[in-house]
């Protein structure tokens, strides 16, 4: 490179830097940003206004939570003398009450074994060309083979364990009692 080309390049870079700096200064006008935020439906507060509002919110929350938060120290002092007598009387009746629920608990446990678990849901999953683990997970959720909350976990499991790359075409029978691993092994014919 000769001197002329070097000068031309440096002048071009210098002018570009000046233009970028000028645009940055003009676009960083705070009043413009506040106006834009207000147009978007936001409310702009100063720091003092924000602190004042948060203090009001906290005081209202304390009032709503009742005297438990604000007056925990105050109310128990007032109520302790009033409630001391019932508190002394209550433990005596409570002791027999605690003994009575113990026999009831086995009664509650008995109906639980009587109620049969719902039969597992069986579904014949048809995997076609181009289907992804995302689409397979959606089908399994639709048919209630996996829970909706587990859909993402199933896709992650398939990808992390390299099953997503080995999905086979065809029809596969799966049921709701199968684990992710069992389903993955079936649809990849990796038994």
| Per-residue pLDDT at 83 | 44
Residues 6+ apart with CB under 8 A from 138: 151
- DSSP symbols for 3-15: HHHHHHHHHHHHH
| Per-residue pLDDT at 140 | 92
Q: Which residue blocks in 65-132 are alpha helix, DSSP H?
A: 67-70, 74-89, 91-99, 101-109, 111-114
Place of tokens 């086979």: 168
The tokens describing 106, both together, are 């086995």
Going by pLDDT thresholds of 50, 70 and 90, the confidence category of residue 31 is low
Which residue did the predictor score with more confidence, 102 or 22?
22
* Mean pLDDT computed over 27-36: 64
- φ/ψ region of 130 (left if φ > 0, alpha if ψ in -120 to 50, else beta) reads left
Cα gap 120→143, rounded to integer Å = 12
Half-sphere exposure for 73 (CA within 13 Å, toward CB): 1
Mean pLDDT of all residues in the chain? 76
Cα gap 107→96, rounded to integer Å = 18
Cα gap 184→26, rounded to integer Å = 57
| Per-residue pLDDT at 32 | 57
Cα gap 61→66, rounded to integer Å = 8
| Per-residue pLDDT at 114 | 56
Domains observed in the chain: 122-187 (3.30.1490.480)
Place of tokens 């001391």: 84
Burial of 109 (0-12, 13-18, 19+ CB in 10 A): exposed
Residues 6+ apart with CB under 8 A from 45: 53
| Per-residue pLDDT at 87 | 46
Is residue 152 within 8 A of residue 173, CB to CB? The reply is no
The string of pLDDT tens digits covering residues 46-57 is 889 889 999 998
Which residue did the predictor score with more confidence, 106 or 130?
130
pTM of the predicted structure, to 2 decimals: 0.40
């Amino acid at each position: 490179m000769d001197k002329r080309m070097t000068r031309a390049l440096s002048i071009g870079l210098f002018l570009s830097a000046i233009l970028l700096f000028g645009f940055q200064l003009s676009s960083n006008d705070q009043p413009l940003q506040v106006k834009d935020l207000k147009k978007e439906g936001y409310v702009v507060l100063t720091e003092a206004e924000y602190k004042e509002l948060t203090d009001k919110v906290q005081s209202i929350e304390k009032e709503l939570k009742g005297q438990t938060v604000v007056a925990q120290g105050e109310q128990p002092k007032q109520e302790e003398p009033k409630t001391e007598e019932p508190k002394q009387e209550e433990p005596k009746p409570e002791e027999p009450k605690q003994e009575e629920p113990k026999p009831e608990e086995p009664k509650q446990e008995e109906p639980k074994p009587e109620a049969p678990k719902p039969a597992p849901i069986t579904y014949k999953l048809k995997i076609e060309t181009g289907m992804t683990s995302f689409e397979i997970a959606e089908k399994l959720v639709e048919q209630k083979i996996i829970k909706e909350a587990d859909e993402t976990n199933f896709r992650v499991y398939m990808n992390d364990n390299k099953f997503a790359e080995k999905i086979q075409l065809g029809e596969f029978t799966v049921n709701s009692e199968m684990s992710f691993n069992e389903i993955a092994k079936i649809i990849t014919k990796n038994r």
